[in-house]
Amino acid sequence: MDYIISISFIFSILMFIRLGNGQITLGETLMGCNYTSNFTINSTYAKNRDLLLSSLPSNVSQNTSVANFFYSTSVGQGSDKVYGKAICLADYTPQECFDSLNDSIENLRTYCPNQKEGVSVSYFGIQYSNRPVNGVVLLEPTRAGINPNDLNSENEVEFYEIWGNLMEKVGEKAAMEEVVKYATGEVNSTSNQTIYVRMQCFPDLDQRSCRYCLTQAVNYYEGCCHGKVGGFVRKPSCWFRWDLYPFYNFTGFALPPSSSIPIRKVKEKGGIAPKTVGIIVGAVVSFLFLLVTLLSWILYLGKKTSNFQHNKDFLEDTESLQFDIEILRIATNNFSIDNKLGQGGFGTVYKGQLPSGESIAVKRWSKNSSQGEVEFENEVLLLAKLQHRNLVRLLGYGFKRTERLLVYEFVPNKSLDFYIFDSQRRLELDWNKRYKIIEGITREILYLHQDSQLQIIHRDLKPSNILLDQQMNPKISDFGTAKLFAVDQSQISTRRIVGTHGYMPPKYAIYGQISTKSDVFSFGVLVLEIIIGQKAWRNWNEGTP
């Protein structure tokens, strides 16, 4: 339940919109305010906020025993109650922590003079709000920065494969830390360079929330900043930095030294001699090592053969849809940030133009994506067999080593959430247009469930997956998590729950039971949001109409 509440709060905090543009140096601080929720200067809430913020530097910098530079508190009662927390980087000194927080809090007061929610992030994090903040993961606002030097690697693809694996392992390590969600790591790359990385989350996050935040941060970096020899991404709840030199002073928390662990001595008489014990233990360990190695090799060969066959069948079935990777690189100007259309958990979407002049949208799968090979192939195989005017059209795909690309028709008017959740842009959608959009989505769901040769449950219907063409006709997209049903099948169960909280029915979210009713539930929430222009899941959690 805590995780569900955390996810719902992500949505409500996306209104932090006052962001800077362009690259920044490693020393700059990111700040954001919620401009939809204000208080009156000299009010009780204003005094409580100032009291809370003033208490953070000394309490955080002195709290080094267990929580290590982390402190959370609240001030006030009722509607005037202010919640807050702050953290410093684990390798800060107490004085550095105090000075950094103190300076940033003064700037935060100036930057958010009368806003009820605000964040400040650098090598520390500060959050305050009129709602509870403990255990809540915030993904926005986001800042990224780079080392301006270009990467000099003989094999860039292999370098980033090693880089991606390191990011994943260190992120997992940080998330699993029980006290301080902090981790560092290093690995040698193919060009005799050592990659160093440091990651940290607010320690009040659970494992899943921390892991999710760091994954989103890494995905963000991949979408904006590849090709440089270092950089960082900062989000309100987590941050990471990497480079080709050891930039951190603290490597994490270790177990007590072996000298502090009591050792039981072996009697010299009446037992097995220490030398004999050593020989026996050595023999047993050697045998077990050989056995594990042999079994691992057998499993590896089996898995390799299975994957090869799987990929071979996939490539044969979709051969006519394959694009040359280099053509797609040229079409998107080498995946330039200027061509970026959007980003999600899977990776980044870029606008491109083929040599024929046709505009396209290219979805570039992230190596750290929560969606993997199965989802990629699933989307290609399904969309290749589906044709409908309210379904985004798949033109093909590119596939080479770790690079996976999906090529779609270019839909110029972005996604539905771009309009309905913005107070100004939703004015462009009169009731006739909204009815037209609802009708188009209805036709597509009917096609997927009944009229196509395949019966398909989408499983992730939501505004961001509804694209709008030039005439504002809706087109359903993102079929990576879609489920194929047999014609005579009414319901199936799955242990893998995918989709977005707030749009998935409780029966599926709790028990994993999928049917056409799953999409109908999501469609109901979608229609409600189109009509009211608000996020239903947020209102439900806040108990507001």
**Where in the sequence numbering do the catalytic residues fall?**
460
Alpha-carbon distance of 240 to 176, in angstroms, equals 16
> Are 90 and 180 a contacting pair, CB within 8 Å?
yes
DSSP secondary structure string for all residues of 247-291: --S-----PPPGGGS--PPPPSSSS--HHHHHHHHHHHHHHHHHH
Cα→Cα distances 39→79, 82, 109, 141, 146, Å: 11, 12, 13, 21, 37
The β-bridge relationship of strands 238-243 and 230-235 is antiparallel
DSSP secondary structure string for all residues of 90-154: TT--HHHHHHHHHHHHHHHHHHSTTBS-EEEESSEEEEEESS--TT-----S-EEEE-SSBP--S
Retrieve residue 117's tokens: 């929610």
Alpha-carbon distance of 407 to 417, in angstroms, equals 22
Beta-ladder partners of 124: 88
Burial (CB count <10 Å: 0-12, 13-18, 19+), residue 82: buried
Cα separation of the two ends of the chain = 22
Beta-ladder partners of 455: 485
Q: Phi and psi dihedrals of 343, rounded to 5? A: -150, 145
Compute, in degrees rounded to 10, the torsion defined by CA atoms 272, 277, 279, 280. 100
Retrieve residue 14's tokens: 């996306």
Please compute, for residue 407, the number of CA atoms within 13 A of its CA located in the half-sphere on the CB side.
21
> Are 522 and 461 a contacting pair, CB within 8 Å?
yes
Q: Give the type of residue at 465.
A: N
